[in-house]
Chain A
């Protein structure tokens, strides 16, 4: 399943060219368990990540422009906008914050809502659990949905199934630069931008997520949590205000996954622990 995820189809030739001479592990995953996470030359991994992030950077740009323009309308200054997007690299929470922004802002309301939107990161950060503490704590600063998903999709291609720090940082660097400069530009251009929806750029975001989802697809048999998330989030987006639909959908899916996993663990004993990983190429 995971042999044809997005990053792999976009990248193998380029990555192979860059990495092959330096790291035989990259071209013969079956022969070696990777000894150290991120071992194949850091710079090559970084460049590979940067390249993998390009389509997402394209998708980021319209959102960054819109967010910057909206923030400027709400009274955030040309310095404050990149300050917010640079210190708080999490687009969903920023859109929420800007929507709630007033003059003067309700500090606690905004902080509480943005924390709620970001609460999914509590679980997502487990993907970096194998990294040494200091590196992980630095890398976590850049962990938005997209950098995390690209890093994870790539990890599933790797022999050890672990996230490559170099690749992740390459992805993050490109996304971060695009996001912070894009929002600043949006704040500067402000009213000139208007409604990007009219031009279809918002579909870039959906397209990126669909391709990422294809790479994570667990197969029909285990797709129930996905379907639960989709249905509940879609309904909630029509019925609830703001961005609660993300929390509602994600919690539904995670709850269903927990429920399904209990059944599997009871039925199959210790073998069940390997089940979630069995879909990998190994």
Chain B
């Protein structure tokens, strides 16, 4: 049920994933952050999140772009749950229609 090579790969993945998190914490923990580093760290979240969803902005299908536009509008006004529902319904319906 568990292949040794698979287990090794999974184990090393887990180790490297944990290390990326722990090492950052250990390195930045006791350091009084200078204004510049602080400004950079403040920018990290937005830059990462927007990069992750960037492909949606250059989607091939008009239906996907339209659904993205509607979801964006919803995100500007509403909280998480209604926005998610708008996104799912808009994408599902528009892909059927267009």
Contact = CB atoms under 8 A, between A and B. Distances in A.
A54 B25 contact: no
Nearest to B30: A129
B47 A200 contact: no
Contact of A56 (B19, B36, B48, B80): B80
B46 A253 contact: yes
Nearest to A146: B49
A126 B79 contact: no
A111 interface: yes
B30 to A, nearest CB: 8
A60 to B, nearest CB: 11
Categorize the interface residue count of chain A: 35 or more
Contacts of A273: 34-35, 38
Interface residues of B, number: 73
A121 interface: yes
A68 interface: no
Nearest to A8: B79
A230 B39 contact: no
B46 A126 contact: no
A254 B51 CA distance: 11
A178 to B, nearest CB: 14
A211 B51 CA distance: 14
B59 to A, nearest CB: 10
Interface stretch (A29-37, A185-193, A201-209): A201-209
A116 to B, nearest CB: 9
Contacts of B55: 233-234, 237-238, 245
Contacts of A201: 88, 91-92
A278 to B, nearest CB: 11
A202 B91 contact: yes
Interface in B1-25: 1-3, 5-14, 16-25
Contacts of B58: 234-235, 237-238
B28 A125 contact: yes
Given A80-B6, A105-B5, A250-B44, A118 B83 contact: no
A63 interface: no
Nearest to A227: B50
Contact of B50 (A197, A202, A249): A249
Interface stretch (A18-26, A42-50, A134-142): A134-142
Nearest to A110: B9
A140 B80 contact: no
Interface string B48-64: 11111111111000000
Contacts of B9: 97, 105, 107, 110-111
A265 interface: yes
